[in-house]
Amino acid sequence: MEKLYLKKLRDTVDKRFVGFKPNGSSIKPVHIFSGATRVIYGKSADTSGIKRLSYVANAKGKTPAANTPEKVISFLEELDAIEDEDIRIEELTSLRNMLQKLLSADDGVFSGTDDGMVSYSAGSKYFITRFAMY
């Protein structure tokens, strides 16, 4: 009887039928979901504001320069989306940490200016990111 090696078989199936490794470190299920919902809706949304508000820090704790609490407060004031100018940084940071956990449940949101791999763990047409690799 021939010995079967699961990893080798999985690699073959992924390469031949899927076209990428769904369990790889770069493509996550949320990316596939985002691509599928984009096809269903036929459009995407401008999610730059969502990313600016909800992306606090990467796994190493680094916060992008445009996403510091002070910059986010200025951004919200420019949009006239904040009523209380005396908002405490601690309160805003707490809200943003919660948003990051909710919207990036499987780490599908990344820092940097290129949003080519950004996908949100949210089931709404307002969270469908623009075309990237899907």
pLDDT tens for 43-58 read 888 888 888 888 888 7
**Mean pLDDT, to the nearest integer, of 86-113?**
79
| Residue 111, CA distances (Å) to 5, 56, 67 in order | 37, 9, 9
What does pTM read for this prediction?
0.65
Under the banding of pLDDT at 50, 70 and 90, the label for residue 95 is very high
pLDDT at 90 over 50: yes
Is the per-residue pLDDT at 132 higher than 60? no
Cβ neighbourhood burial of 56 (10 Å; 0-12, 13-18, 19+): buried
Q: What is the pLDDT of residue 71?
A: 92
- With a cut of 80, say whether residue 85 has pLDDT above it: no
Residue 51 phi/psi, 5-degree rounding, is -65, -40
Instruction: Tell me what pLDDT residue 110 has.
Output: 66
Distances (CA, A) of 49 to 10, 46, 81: 38, 8, 11
Name the strand (E) or helix (H) holding 69.
helix 69-78
In the chain, pLDDT over 90 holds for what percent of residues? 7
Task: Name the amino acid, one letter, at 60.
Answer: K
